[in-house]
Amino acid sequence: MDRNSRLAVLLVAPLLLLMIVGFVLPLGTTAFKAVDNPEVTAALPRTTAALGQWSGDGLPDEAVYAAFVEDLLSPQDNRVFGGLVRRLNFEQTGMRSIISGARRAAEGLQAPYSESLPALNAVWGEPEVWQLLQTHSNPYTATYLLRAMDLRMAADGSIIPVDPQQAIFRELFLRTFIISLWVTVFAVLLGYPTAWFLSTLRGRAEGLALLCVLVPFWISILVRSTAWFIVLQREGPINAALLATGVIDTPQAIIFTRPAVYLAMVHVLLPFQILPLLAVMKRIRPDYVRAAASLGARPWQQFLLVYLPMTMPGVAAGAVMVLMLSVGFYITPVLVGGLRDQMVSYYIAYFTNTSINLGMAAALSLLLLILTGLLVVAAARVLPGLNLGARV
Amino acid sequence: MMMAIRIFAVLVLVFLVSPIVVIFPLSFSSGEILTLPTPGWSLRWYEDFFTAGRWLEATRNSFVVGGFTMVIATTLGTLAAFGLNMARFPGKKTVLVILSLPMVVPVIVAASSMYVAFSAWGLTNTFTGLVIAHVIVAAPYVVITVLAAVQTLDMTLVRAALSLGATPVQAFREVVLPLILPGVIAGAVFAFATSFDELVIAIFLTGPGQFTLPRQMFAGLREMLSPTIAASAVIMVVLSVVLLLISEAARNYATRLQGGARQ
Amino acid sequence: MTTQTSTRALLVALPLATALATGASARDLTIVGFGGGYQDTAREHLFQAYAAHAGIGVTDDVYNGEMARIYAMVEAGDVTWDIVMVEAPDMVRGCEDGVFAPIDWSVVNADKLIPSGVHDCGVGATGFGVTVFYDTERSPEGPKDMADFWDIEQFPGMRSMRTGPRMSLEAALMADGVAREDVYTVLATPEGVDRAFAKLDEIKDHIVWWTAGAQPLQFVGSGEVEYAMAYTGRILRAIDEENMPYNMLWNTLIYSIDFWTVVEGSPHTEEAMRMIDWITDADQLRNQAAVWPISPANIEVNSDPEVQAANPGMVLNHADTGLFIDTEFWIEYGDDLEARFAAWAAN
């Protein structure tokens, strides 16, 4: 490396280092947490070691039972057992009370434990619970990623759908994608004529119209979502206006519905569609369209055959941006949508901040990341030179 | 036909600004309920904003976090932009990908990942953690704007200054800086705005001791929906417009500068 | 840079730097609750009174029962909350999971508490509950009981309930005609759970779910919903202090006791134990009871006829018409029902 390159590296290094430690590393942690499975081994080290020898047929021998009781009696931190109990209960209902019951009674148990444990609770005399422990002695698990697709692993290792009453995530990803797609379609349909109109303006009118796009663009998503939250209330301005004009005769519940989510999201994301379109349209010289006209093309032909193809890069650039941002939207649906209008982001926040399941949060994050990554890669294929540096 | 499209476009523009415009009269309402027409006018909600401790404290926090984010992100981003512009080096492509990651990763994924990692490092519920996170999401924009400015920089001017006996530092201060300043300012404004508007990361990383203005608004939407929310929204709108004007001014200045250099 | 500009830069940077630094300095003892009028009065009569009594700094925060925050804090060893008020099932589970420290019963006097207010990791704080309420001006003929709350024919309009299975499933069974004393027996069977969810299905399109205690009050106040289930304290405050024309249905009461807990790994653990003992003493609670209808787990105060007479809104005054939340049931079935509720509510 020459002196210049060394200096260049030195200049880039501080920011790069910050990005790697503060961003890439956390993302890596998330990816790891989606498959990490430390709980069972941490709480039951002797049992998992003993289960390593077990074939999985019938019942394990006394050595495994004895190791298990020894683990239960070991002066472990409650937190380690808490982790175990939550982990197993997530795999199988009822494990919380089964494990906690065994731990409470462990001190009074007499050898041979392969008799006294099943006497305490019959499940210890069945192979399933031991298979479960053996499966999760593995330091890695596919549980979270499977569950994020409404699948689970049965005791025999086959992959089966979860109980329909607990199925949620396939529908959720589908909904996220559908909402995002519709928002993108609306953004294109509203944005295209608007951008064209802006590109025809000159002088003061252009400045004013551009301001109508740039000001919302610069105002935070929260403020714009808040505005919709206020505007859409039952006794808010929209209902008041509709009542006053006689369109409706009783106030309608608009907020916390899907249409409210569409309305607010399209509003928030529309500038991302208009601005790249405008940039493309401003570069098109009117000569082309005029040439087409002089060759006898009708107006719709001029549009379809000349103008539209030339503006497609703008449509695509804006649409990719809108789609990408929609897929990860959080604030707007949370504020103006109901529980049935939430997207994947809501559940990432839910599993991180409310429910206690970082594995699920990580798995959903990873899938969302992959989904977004695919969109970006697809977009880069279609549109070389795509600039994603617009304001988010 | 054309007329219909024009009318349609004007309606879309109205759609874009109207919800923002509507909150202005609401914030000056004398009533407790957020509806139009307002029963009368008053400044009571602004008074509430400027006298209720939590709003003012949140505003202060936002400025502190935004200020630090701006300074750090602009410094690191400008350095990196120079480095990227200066020379090829092995792995440059990878570096570019890493630096642009925060712009493509969904913010919720970034926020929840940083939350998990930062809490292991004791950085949650601290201003330091929030500033670090904001620098990470803001710096890529600084890199982009400064890089654009640096790329148009005419290096012969620098060489001329050096050959006339200027020290590298002098050459940078007297020649380079004035030329790239608009780009740096635009980047800095952007960094400040990014931090000032940011909510999702703040939700994950802050406790009530570090509430920023957006975080306080978000809490307010659930805790006490009073027109104070509208007032704070108006205040944020005004600030955003000021930032927009600064950034546009910097851009115009840059365009004129480049025009001047060409002549 | 000239000296002048660098001085100016320093002047700008200094206050910023100090502002940042204070975030990292030693913090006050932090006590966290569910907010609302309860916490406003507790702040004065319990928290700050203790701060003055013990000569320490005490700050309080509000949360909505998000246990994940507490678990994350303990896991990371970065405990920023010291004392937290939690609902009983969360307290017992958190105790099993090691996120709450064992109560030092040599510091806290157990004799003053009702028996159900004494737990390894929790000290009974106050009873709390939810009931249905509505605005009598908007709906002069409101619902009379839980079955009416479910009756969208006779009482059209939106409802609001607390997000989550706890209290919602009980309410559904009450509305379906299950007697109070049988609710948990029914809910402990798979058919009972199905029955509760089927009942919830009937009004699913008419429910706006809330997470923060202030939301249902705001929804009813702004006309967004007609009828809501909300914390009794919040409803009483709206009636008494803001003169809202609300009617609350005590026969829809679903109630329990909240506990004071100390977060495991808190740097203020010893102080926290002393504080919990002090704020559950009769004298302090009488002061709070004078301004707020608390139902403390302190025997002397909650059985005091004078306190009861002065506070008709005490949850424990309405125990005979209310459903007491079964802590054991929610420890046993909580995880599952939460998963099922999340899936149900999302689709």
Q: Is residue B56 assigned to a domain?
A: no
What distance separates the 2 farthest-apart alpha carbons in chain A? 100
What six digits make up the tokens of B20?
Answer: 């923002």
The alpha carbon of residue B204 is apart from the nearest alpha carbon of chain C, in Å, by 10
- On whether the CB atoms of residues B203 and C63 are closer than 8 A, the answer is no
Q: Is residue B164 assigned to a domain?
A: yes
Q: Is residue B161 assigned to a domain?
A: yes
Mean pLDDT for chain A? 91
Nearest to C97 among A82, A171, A251 (CB): A82
Q: Residues for chain C: how many in total?
A: 347
Distances (CA, A) of A122 to A98, A126, A180: 10, 7, 50
Could you read off the pLDDT of B97-141 as tens digits, one per residue? 999 999 989 999 999 999 999 988 989 889 999 999 999 999 999
Q: Is the model's pLDDT at A366 over the cut of 50? A: yes
- Model confidence at A137, pLDDT cuts 50, 70, 90, reads very high
Q: Is the model's pLDDT at C281 over the cut of 90? A: yes
Q: Which residues pair with C162 in a beta bridge?
A: C210
Q: Is the Cβ pair C208, A338 closer than 8 Å? A: yes
d(CA C22, CA C38): 29
d(CA B30, CA B23): 14
Total domains present in chain B: 1
What six digits make up the tokens of A291?
Answer: 């040439």
The alpha carbon of residue A336 is apart from the nearest alpha carbon of chain B, in Å, by 11
Nearest chain C Cα to B174, which residue? C1
Q: Is the Cβ pair C96, A81 closer than 8 Å? A: yes
CB atoms inside a 10 Å sphere around CB C247: 16
Stretch C164-191: mean pLDDT: 97
Cβ contacts of B207 on chain C, cutoff 8 Å: 61, 80
What six digits make up the tokens of C152?
Answer: 């969208």
Residue C344: per-residue pLDDT? 96
Q: Is the model's pLDDT at C48 over the cut of 90? A: yes
- Model confidence at B262, pLDDT cuts 50, 70, 90, reads very low
Stretch A10-15: mean pLDDT: 95
CB atoms inside a 10 Å sphere around CB C214: 21
Q: Is residue B263 assigned to a domain?
A: yes
Q: Which residues pair with B41 in a beta bridge?
A: B29
Distance of CA C149 to the CA centre of its chain: 22
Q: Which residue has the tokens 């509000």?
A: C62
Stretch C317-326: mean pLDDT: 92
Could you read off the pLDDT of A194-217 as tens digits, one per residue? 999 999 999 999 999 999 999 999
d(CA C137, CA C154): 17
All domains of chain A in start order, with CATH: 39-139 (no CATH), 169-382 (1.10.3720.10)
What single-letter amino acid sits at A343?
M
Q: Is the Cβ pair B80, A14 closer than 8 Å? A: yes
d(CA C220, CA A304): 53
Q: Is the Cβ pair C23, B127 closer than 8 Å? A: yes
Cβ contacts of C16 on chain B, cutoff 8 Å: 64, 67-68
Residue B18 neighbours by CB under 8 Å, 6+ apart: none
- Model confidence at B75, pLDDT cuts 50, 70, 90, reads very high
Cβ contacts of A350 on chain C, cutoff 8 Å: 342
Q: Reduced to 3 states, what is the DSSP secondary structure of residue C298?
A: strand
Question: Percent of chain B scored above 70 by pLDDT?
Answer: 97
Cβ contacts of A11 on chain B, cutoff 8 Å: 79-80, 82-83, 86
What single-letter amino acid sits at A120?
L
- Model confidence at A385, pLDDT cuts 50, 70, 90, reads low
- Model confidence at A389, pLDDT cuts 50, 70, 90, reads very low
Q: Is the model's pLDDT at C4 over the cut of 60? A: no
Distance of CA B149 to the CA centre of its chain: 18
d(CA B76, CA B85): 14
- On whether the CB atoms of residues A275 and A213 are closer than 8 A, the answer is yes
Touching subunits of C (3+ CB pairs, under 8 Å) are A, B
Q: Which residue has the tokens 């957006």?
A: B214
CB atoms inside a 10 Å sphere around CB B11: 13
Burial of A376 (0-12, 13-18, 19+ CB in 10 A): middle
- Model confidence at C222, pLDDT cuts 50, 70, 90, reads confident
CB atoms inside a 10 Å sphere around CB A275: 22
Closest CA to C277 of C50, C115, C51, C57: C50
Q: What is the pTM of this model?
A: 0.92
CB atoms inside a 10 Å sphere around CB A75: 4
Residue C12 neighbours by CB under 8 Å, 6+ apart: B67
All domains of chain C in start order, with CATH: 28-127+257-316 (3.40.190.10), 128-255+322-346 (3.40.190.10)
Containing C124, the helix (H) or strand (E) segment is strand C122-135
Residue C22: per-residue pLDDT? 45
Contacts made by residues A178-183, CB under 8 angstroms, sequence distance 24+: A179/A261, A179/A262, A179/A265, A179/A326, A179/A341, A179/A343, A180/A323, A180/A326, A180/A327, A180/A329, A180/A343, A181/A323, A182/A262, A183/A262, A183/A265, A183/A266, A183/A269, A183/A322, A183/A323, A183/A326
Q: Which residues pair with A339 in a beta bridge?
A: none
Burial of C14 (0-12, 13-18, 19+ CB in 10 A): exposed
What six digits make up the tokens of A276?
Answer: 């790249």
Q: Which residue has the tokens 């919709």?
A: A228
Quickly list H helices, C2-130: 3-24, 36-42, 48-54, 67-76, 88-96
Q: Is residue B185 assigned to a domain?
A: yes
Q: Is residue B12 assigned to a domain?
A: no
The half-sphere exposure of B1 on its side-chain side, counting CA atoms within 13 A, is: 3
Query: Taking CA A373 as the corner, what is the angle to CA A370 and CA A376, rounded to the nearest 5 degrees?
Result: 155
What single-letter amino acid sits at A10?
L
DSSP state of C297: S
Question: Percent of chain A scored above 90 by pLDDT?
Answer: 68
Q: Tell me the CATH number at B254.
A: 1.10.3720.10
Q: Reduced to 3 states, what is the DSSP secondary structure of residue B63?
A: helix
Helix axes B107-120, C67-76, angle to 10 degrees: 50
Q: Is residue B132 assigned to a domain?
A: yes
Residue A104 forms contact with C (CB below 8 Å): no
Distances (CA, A) of A283 to A72, A286, A307, A313, B155: 73, 9, 12, 12, 29
DSSP state of C318: G
Could you read off the pLDDT of C138-166 as tens digits, one per residue? 999 999 999 999 999 999 999 999 999 99
What six digits make up the tokens of C121?
Answer: 């990791």
Closest CA to C1 of B168, B153, B170: B170
Distances (CA, A) of C293 to A356, C129, C218, C301, C316: 33, 12, 21, 12, 10
CB atoms inside a 10 Å sphere around CB A190: 21
Residue A208: per-residue pLDDT? 94
Query: Taking CA C344 as the corner, what is the angle to CA B199 and CA C339, rounded to the nearest 5 degrees?
Result: 75
Residue A32 forms contact with B (CB below 8 Å): no
What six digits make up the tokens of A340?
Answer: 């049935």
Q: Is the model's pLDDT at C43 over the cut of 50? A: yes
Cβ contacts of A335 on chain B, cutoff 8 Å: 221
Q: Is the Cβ pair C23, B210 closer than 8 Å? A: yes
d(CA A356, CA C73): 12
Q: Which residues pair with A153 in a beta bridge?
A: A159
Q: Is the model's pLDDT at A392 over the cut of 80? A: no
Q: What is the ipTM of this complex?
A: 0.92
Stretch C25-35: mean pLDDT: 85
Residue C264 forms contact with A (CB below 8 Å): yes
- Model confidence at A284, pLDDT cuts 50, 70, 90, reads confident
Distances (CA, A) of A157 to A134, A149, A217: 11, 17, 51
The alpha carbon of residue C153 is apart from the nearest alpha carbon of chain B, in Å, by 29
Could you read off the pLDDT of A141-193 as tens digits, one per residue? 999 999 999 999 887 778 999 989 889 999 999 999 999 999 999 999 999 99
- Domain that residue B161 falls in: 71-87+107-263
Closest CA to B146 of B194, B95, B181: B181
Distance of CA A371 to the CA centre of its chain: 9
Query: Taking CA A303 as the corner, what is the angle to CA A301 and CA A309, rounded to the nearest 5 degrees?
Result: 110
d(CA B92, CA B97): 9
User: Sign of the C-alpha dihedral, residues A316, A379, A391, A389?
Assistant: negative
Stretch C208-226: mean pLDDT: 92
Q: Reduced to 3 states, what is the DSSP secondary structure of residue B43?
A: coil
Residue B259: per-residue pLDDT? 61
Q: Reduced to 3 states, what is the DSSP secondary structure of residue C231?
A: strand
Residue A205 forms contact with B (CB below 8 Å): no
d(CA B185, CA B197): 18
Question: Percent of chain B scored above 90 by pLDDT?
Answer: 57
d(CA A165, CA C135): 36
Q: Is residue B236 assigned to a domain?
A: yes
What six digits make up the tokens of A12?
Answer: 């880039």
Q: Read off φ and ψ for residue A375, nearest 5 degrees.
A: -60, -45
Q: Give Rg (Cα) of chain B.
A: 22
CB atoms inside a 10 Å sphere around CB C244: 17
User: Sign of the C-alpha dihedral, residues B77, B79, B81, B87?
Assistant: negative
Residue C26: per-residue pLDDT? 66
Residue A22 forms contact with B (CB below 8 Å): yes
